[in-house]
Amino acid sequence: MNNIIEAKKIIKEYNIGKGNVQQILKGIDLSIQQGEFISVMGASGSGKSTLLHNISGMDKLTSGTIKFSGKMLSNMSEEELSKLRLKNMGFIFQQSNLLKNLNIFDNIILSAYLSKEESRHTINERATRLMEKMNILEIKDKDITQVSGGQLQRASICRALINKPKILFGDEPTGALNSKLTNEVMDILIDINQLGTTIMLVTHDAKVASKTERVLFMSDGLIIGEIKLDKFNNNNLKERENKLISWLSELSF
């Protein structure tokens, strides 16, 4: 199977003033296969979100290399990176980050209109199908202040999928949801992955991570361990949770 992401020796540093530099990522190697569902765990400040932001080209590395589908991100201009993210990557965050001046449907279709790759009719039809799949079509004309947090997150998933991305990045996408809504969102992400979309998810929740097929654990800017759980099915959920929790307890923090 082909790698969609290949990261080698990636380092990320921030200048924190007075000549002091804080190193957040400390020489990470990581490959993600096409169609894989991978999660990243670790304590707050371990570098999880920084890794995701750099892997996706949202942030610029201090050193190291990242290839996306064989293309070197460090060789791209900001305009080229923006186009790559727009057409090939989808993003879901803990907060929906939907635009307040647009209704739900317009938030979902905006990035597809900006890409100018397809007709508006085609885009609108796909947005409608996505909303039907997420069971939120009835809120298409509502403002973002008129719907629930769970509905907003489903709308965010629709927005992330509107350009048919090769990979979906999630930074704590269930962090603000209750357990019922978390399960619903994870069921949706599992369905998306099983249809072929690669997913990289940052989470603090072992129950969420147990539904992915490979879990990485970060500490102090390094990946210190990983465990493979294979593709998810509902019949072995408790077994997967217990295996992951046991593995986490054995790691040195």
Cα gap 247→159, rounded to integer Å = 35
Domains of the chain by range and CATH?
A: 3-250 (3.40.50.300)
Residue 223 has what pLDDT? 96
pLDDT of residue 48: 95
Q: Which residues, at least 6 apart from 1, have a Cβ–Cβ distance to it below 8 Å? A: 33, 34, 35
Q: pLDDT 10s digit of each residue in the chain, 253 long?
A: 699 999 999 999 998 888 788 999 999 999 999 999 999 999 999 999 999 999 999 999 999 999 999 999 988 999 999 999 999 999 999 888 899 999 999 999 999 999 888 999 999 999 999 999 889 999 999 999 999 988 999 999 999 999 999 999 999 998 888 898 888 889 999 999 999 999 999 999 999 999 999 999 999 999 999 999 988 877 788 889 999 999 998 885 4
How many C-beta neighbours within 10 Å does residue 184 have? 18
End-to-end Cα separation, the chain, in angstroms: 33
Q: What pLDDT does 119 receive?
A: 94
3-state secondary structure (DSSP) of residue 118: coil
